[in-house]
Amino acid sequence: MKKSVIALLHIGFWLCYLTLIIIVTAVHYAKTGDTVIQEALILNAFKNLFFFALLPSAISFYLYYFLLFPRYLQQRKFILSIVIAPLLSITASIIGYLLLRHSIDTGKCRDMDHSGESTAMGVMIFMTFIDTIAGIVALVIRGFITWFEEIKLKEELKQKNHETEMALVKAQLDPHFLFNTLNNIDVLILKDATLASDYLNKLSDILRFMLYETKTDTIALSKEIEYIEKYIELQKIRTSNANYVNFSVTGDIGKKTVAPMVFIPFMENAFKHTNNKKIDQAINITINISGKKIVFICENKYNPNLKKEQDKNSNGLGNELIQKRLHLIYPQKHKLEVSNQNELYSVRLTITHE
């Protein structure tokens, strides 16, 4: 939601609140009918209006808005919210009452002549009630803003996921990947029909995964790893070097889930920019699962002299789109670190689950 709209919501509430308080105060003091002290009553009324109704209500409103809602209610700490809410209202009331006692002119205002503990307690209770109402309104406004932003975020995420999916399909289903894989399988048919059939099934599984199993928001980490293994196998048939790629998984996968194809763009870029396929472990890919964290590391060696030319011809998924997707899917729950030095390009992505 735009900041201007949020500001209008706040201004609108306070204008309505202030108008209501002024009307109630005017009606109350109009009943006195004493013209001698009428002027003093009016001056005292506006002074009391600020310290009794406006200031403590504003304190309570923004304590609920900036403290109670984001730190407790939004985090589903409902019991703590119920306990803390009245404490915030009471705190605002005490501040308002103390300022009211110091500012009021009891000699000119007949309503405050009979001050005492019972009167003070009554004023405090009434102020706490008003402050609680203001706090509840703050929760409603903040809740509405949060709800609206979540809907907008989901729509944006849906759109970005669609863009990413289309970009991924375009990147992975380009003629170079398909034709090279099919040509390699074609050569294998004459040498080893069984192995060629196995690779063809892997290619079929990859296409099926990309077209049908990436529709959901999350998939099992085990499925993502299975796809990665098949993708690597298809890439490895393009070289006779069996140690060209090293892939390893450590830790307990369990029931961990990830966004579909969240790691693939980094791997795709690694294969595209690795020039010499005869080097052992030219590409190193590791996935480490530890507690609530999933750490993905992808490193590839490259020739810096050829990298610029490859970048011009590359049709892979851009880093900007990758980062936008990560920010949408894992807001404040991921860390992406990229290193490029000594002819080694390294990507480290850490995803934290609740």
Taking residues 193-209, report their average pLDDT. Answer: 84
- Among 328, 342, 304, smallest CA distance to 164 is for 328
Percent of the residues in the chain that have a pLDDT greater than 90, as a whole number: 23
Which has the higher per-residue pLDDT, 104 or 313?
104
CA angle at 58 for the pair 54 and 59, rounded to the nearest 5°:
120
pLDDT(177) > 80: no
In a domain, 165, yes or no: no
CB 341 within 8 A of CB 314: no
In a domain, 168, yes or no: no
208 with 286, same domain: the answer is: yes
- What's residue 209's pLDDT? 79
Which has the higher per-residue pLDDT, 228 or 242?
228
CB 113 within 8 A of CB 74: no
81 with 194, same domain: the answer is: no
141 with 207, same domain: the answer is: no
At 115, the pLDDT band (50, 70, 90 cuts) reads: very low
pLDDT(192) > 60: yes
- Domain boundary residue, one of 152, 187, 204: 152
- What's residue 164's pLDDT? 67
Which has the higher per-residue pLDDT, 353 or 305?
353
Q: Tokens for 35, please give them.
A: 């013209």
What is the SS3 string spanning the chain?
Answer: CCHHHHHHHHHHHHHHHHHHHHHHHHHHHHCCCCCCCHHHHHHHHHHHHHHHHHHHHHHHHHHHHHHHHHHHHCCCCHHHHHHHHHHHHHHHHHHHHHHHHHHCCCCCCHHHCCCCHHHHHHHHHHHHHHHHHHHHHHHHHHHHHHHHHHHHHHHHHHHHHHHHHHHHHHHHCCHHHHHHHHHHHHHHHHHCHHHHHHHHHHHHHHHHHHHHCCCCCCEEHHHHHHHHHHHHHHHHCCCCCCCCEEEEEECCCCCCEECCCCCHHHHHHHHHHCCCCCCCCCEEEEEEEECCEEEEEEEEECCHHHHHHHHHHCCCCCHHHHHHHHHHHCCCCEEEEEEEECCEEEEEEEEECC
Q: Look up the domain containing 246 and give its range.
A: 173-352
Query: What's the start-to-end Cα distance of the chain, in Å?
Result: 26
Taking residues 195-222, report their average pLDDT. Answer: 82
271 with 199, same domain: the answer is: yes
181 with 259, same domain: the answer is: yes
- Domain boundary residue, one of 102, 123, 152: 152
The number of distinct structural domains making up the chain is: 2
- Domain boundary residue, one of 152, 182, 217: 152
- Among 164, 206, 210, smallest CA distance to 181 is for 206
326 with 218, same domain: the answer is: yes
180 with 312, same domain: the answer is: yes
12 with 110, same domain: the answer is: yes
- What's residue 118's pLDDT? 56
In a domain, 16, yes or no: yes
In a domain, 202, yes or no: yes
In a domain, 163, yes or no: no
- What's residue 334's pLDDT? 92
287 with 336, same domain: the answer is: yes
63 with 207, same domain: the answer is: no
Taking residues 109-123, report their average pLDDT. Answer: 55
The mean pLDDT value of the chain amounts to: 79
At 320, the pLDDT band (50, 70, 90 cuts) reads: confident
In a domain, 66, yes or no: yes
- What's residue 307's pLDDT? 53
12 with 145, same domain: the answer is: yes
144 with 189, same domain: the answer is: no
